[in-house]
């Protein structure tokens, strides 16, 4: 599912690049090298963290894609963002327009990634009561091994909540891109929308291993979500008018 989302994001970025006024070939190359960098960073971290298990069972390296953890997301995002910045600078791509072109495809890719997490049992939700008709129950030992997923317990399908939020965000950004007033607005809206989606869906996500702060009032992804919202607000902020 994550691979399908990445492919759809790459294809849709060709359309958004033309709308934003960026060379589609440069956007394609930027996406490919950034994706490779993000995957490499995540896999290196996973191999290092699970080296003892992988030494005894080398074939398990093929299952590492099932692991879903905030630290992996941060590592992958940092690696991908660093390479994207390097590529954009090297080929003198307009940063705001490039960010606008990438916003909606990125939201679409994140939606599919969350659907993949739902199928794999990664990033699972809190236990749900019997009244929750759409709760999901996992039974795969591999989900428990790699993600600590509770087996036989109905839980909130929080990954589906997040996927729905990202799908709605992507649809909104695709529609807004041709109508934006100035470059950078779509990127700012993406940052604020993604931050809001992360913060709200974390309410129903199991807090295990997510870095609880302030006596459990917030977790690390929610802190990151607040930073995304602030970053989006800064991007959307109107520049001060120069005195006459």
Give the span between the Cα atoms of 34 and 86, in whole angstroms.
10
DSSP collapsed to 3 states, 43-103: HHHHHHHCHHHHHHCHHHHHHHHHCCCHHHHHHHHHHHHHHHHHHHHHCCCCHHHHHHHHH
Percent of the chain with pLDDT over 70: 92
136 forms bridges with which residues in the sheet?
A: 155
Model confidence at 241: pLDDT above 70: no
In this structure, are residues 197 and 169 in contact, taking their beta carbons and an 8 Å threshold?
Answer: yes
Backbone angles phi, psi at 13, to 5 degrees: -65, -25
Q: What is the pLDDT of residues 32-43, one digit of tens each?
A: 999 999 888 888
Report residue 42 as tokens.
Answer: 């995540």
64 vs 47, higher pLDDT: 47
Residue 66 pLDDT class (50, 70, 90 cuts): low
In this structure, are residues 148 and 40 in contact, taking their beta carbons and an 8 Å threshold?
Answer: no
Q: Which of 37, 47, 38, 82 is nearest to 67 (CA)?
A: 47
Q: What is the pLDDT of residues 132-159, one digit of tens each?
A: 999 999 999 988 888 889 999 999 999 9
170 vs 39, higher pLDDT: 170
The predicted pLDDT at position 50 comes to 76
Residue 59 pLDDT class (50, 70, 90 cuts): confident
Q: What average pLDDT score do residues 82-98 get?
A: 93
CA atoms within 13 A on the CB side of 203: 6
């Amino acid at each position: 599912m994550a691979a399908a989302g990445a492919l759809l994001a790459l294809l849709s970025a060709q359309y958004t690049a033309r709308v934003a006024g960026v060379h589609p070939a440069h956007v394609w190359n930027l996406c490919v090298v950034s994706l490779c960098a993000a995957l490499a960073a995540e896999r290196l971290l996973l191999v290092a963290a699970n080296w003892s298990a992988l030494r005894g069972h080398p074939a398990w390296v093929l299952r590492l894609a099932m692991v879903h953890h905030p630290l992996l997301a941060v590592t992958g995002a940092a690696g991908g963002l660093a390479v994207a910045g390097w590529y954009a600078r090297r080929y003198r791509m307009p940063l705001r327009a490039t960010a606008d072109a990438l916003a909606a495809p990125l939201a679409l890719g994140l939606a599919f990634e969350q659907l993949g997490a739902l199928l794999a049992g990664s990033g699972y939700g809190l236990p749900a009561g019997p009244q929750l008709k759409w709760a999901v129950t996992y039974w795969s030992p591999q989900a428990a091994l790699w993600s600590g997923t509770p087996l036989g317990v109905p839980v909130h399908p929080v990954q589906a909540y997040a996927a729905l939020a990202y799908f709605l965000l992507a649809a909104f950004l695709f529609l807004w891109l041709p109508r934006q007033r100035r470059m950078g607005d779509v990127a700012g809206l993406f940052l604020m929308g993604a931050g809001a989606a992360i913060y709200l869906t974390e309410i129903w996500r199991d807090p295990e291993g997510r870095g609880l702060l302030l006596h459990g009032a917030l977790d690390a992804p929610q802190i990151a979500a607040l930073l995304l919202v602030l970053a989006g607000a800064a991007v959307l902020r109107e520049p001060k008018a120069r005195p006459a």
